[in-house]
Amino acid sequence: MSQSFTLINFSKREYLNPVPFKNDVKWPCFHHVGAESTNAVLTLMADEWRGDVIALVDDATGLEFYEHKNCPASMHRLLKLTEGEGPWRYAALWFSDVSGRFKCAKGKVGRQRVGEGEGTYLEKLPFDGTFDKDIVIYPYIVNETTHEYYKRKSSHADVDPFSDLMMVHSPSFMGEDVGIWIGDDIHPAMEPPVGDYRDITDVYTVE
């Protein structure tokens, strides 16, 4: 099954529609330093999304997977924030699309939700918003909860582990590092943090 992914803020009940950005909705398109959707969400995490519960969620993982006894604790937490419904579907029905905050969304057209809740439908419409944010590419990602950070590679084509660390487990994407940062206080930075932080660059950005 082909899976589509969305970056969702469960604390603010918002999500970032990937359509206005220069990458597809499939997982590999989030997995490199130059992915616009990833850099857009990091831009938000540097400011108004700082400290929120954020995850990269796919549309193909059924509710039964979230409820499985071996499901990670981070995914069980998402269910508490979505009233027991599957997180992707719940966000699609009830959360707000904030892609229109970015300048690059102005003039773009995409399939968007009309209405709210069970009676919603999708329609191809121009994106709406303030269109006042530029996407910032940050070289460092810091986890304040675990006191860890890593340096992203310089080439836009290089692999960025952010999508793995923030992605929900699914039958197609499982592993000991998948989703382990969901619910942590994550933010990007222009400089490495000062103090007692563990540099995990070599752990997650290997060739």
Enclosing domain of residue 180:
5-137+159-184
Tell me whether residue 23 is in a domain: yes
Tell me whether residue 67 is in a domain: yes
Give the pLDDT of residue 79: 74
- 120: three-class secondary structure by DSSP: coil
Domain count, the chain: 1
Tell me whether residue 164 is in a domain: yes
Tell me whether residue 193 is in a domain: no
Give the pLDDT of residue 207: 47
Tell me whether residue 148 is in a domain: no
What is the number of other CB atoms lying within 10 angstroms of the CB of residue 123? Answer: 11
Give the pLDDT of residue 48: 96
Distance CA 185, CA 21 (A): 25
Q: pTM for the full model?
A: 0.86
Tell me whether residue 202 is in a domain: no
Please give the full DSSP string across 138-193, using - where no structure is assigned.
Answer: -SEEEETTTTEEEEPPSSTTSB-THHHHTBPP-SSS--TTTTTTTTS-EEEESSPP
Tell me whether residue 197 is in a domain: no
Q: Which residue has the tokens 């959707």?
A: 37
Tell me whether residue 178 is in a domain: yes
**One pLDDT digit (tens) per residue for the chain, 207 residues:** 457 788 999 999 999 988 888 765 555 556 667 788 889 999 999 999 999 999 988 877 667 666 666 666 767 777 778 877 778 888 888 899 999 999 999 999 877 788 877 778 778 889 999 999 999 999 999 999 999 999 988 765 577 888 888 887 655 555 567 778 988 999 999 999 999 999 999 887 544
Give the pLDDT of residue 178: 76
